[in-house]
Amino acid sequence: MPNFSGVAQANAIAVPPINSMPNTQVGRVRVFYDSYTTIAAEDVTVADTITFGAERIPVGARITNASIQNDGVGGTSAIVSVAVGGVSPIVAADITAAGIDTITTIGLVTTSAGYPTMTFTTLTADMTDGKVIELQLEYVID
């Protein structure tokens, strides 16, 4: 029965060993949260972006979880994709109807510091006024 090692395990048993980073093991999970409320006067179109957060997610952060919760912005198709720090999609979702969508790609590590941005890849009608779009991320840096 052969046995196999993941990258970190192989690094650990290498000679000389290569140490793991905190974003691989024992790092602290941190929170990022922000929300956006739609405004009817701001007509959103395809390729428009919403920028989230008061602070950038640092370079080298591993995104361990992501969620979008929304009230349902209306229309027939409102597909968004979230990117941060040079990596995407963190989470992609159709926010036409209310609901929660969770992380699309696990394990991504930011290649630069950056604010999470949500880009509309499809939008068939203006968003309904007063709908809340929440973005929540979990990341590990240290």
The residues of the shown chain that bind other proteins, judged by CB under 8 A, are 28-37, 42-45, 47-55, 65, 67, 69, 100, 102, 115, 133-136, 138
Q: In whole angstroms, give the CA distance from residue 79 to residue 17.
A: 45
User: Could you tell me the smallest distance in angstroms from the CB atom of residue 93 to other proteins?
Assistant: 13
Closer residue to other proteins (CB): 12 or 132: 132
Give the number of residues written for the chain. 142
User: Could you tell me the smallest distance in angstroms from the CB atom of residue 5 to other proteins?
Assistant: 29
Q: In whole angstroms, give the CA distance from residue 17 to residue 36.
A: 46
Q: 132-140 and 87-94: which strand pairing?
A: unpaired
User: Could you tell me the smallest distance in angstroms from the CB atom of residue 116 to other proteins?
Assistant: 9
DSSP at 10: H
